[in-house]
Amino acid sequence: MADKDVPPRWDRRMQQRLARGEAAALGELYDRFASLVHSLAHRVVGEEAAADAVTREVFAHIWEHPETYDPKQGNLRSWVAAVAHRLAVQRLRDSETAALPRRSERATEDLERKVSRASAAARADYIVHSMPAPLRAALELAYFQRRDYRQTATDLGVTEDEARRRLRLGLQLLSTAHDTGTPPGYGGAV
Distance CA 88, CA 190 (A): 13
How far apart CA 72 and CA 2 sit, in angstroms, is 14
How confident is the model over 78-137, as pLDDT tens digits?
A: 899 989 999 998 898 888 766 655 556 666 677 677 777 777 777 777 777 777 788 888
Residue range 58-75: mean pLDDT, rounded: 89
Question: Residue 42: how many CA atoms within 13 Å on its side-chain side?
Answer: 11
Chain-wide mean pLDDT for the chain?
81
Average pLDDT over residues 175-180: 68
Burial (CB count within 10 angstroms: exposed 0-12, middle 13-18, buried 19+), residue 93: middle
CA distance linking residue 100 with residue 39, whole number of Å:
26
Whole-model pTM: value is 0.58
CA 84/CA 78 separation, integer angstroms: 10
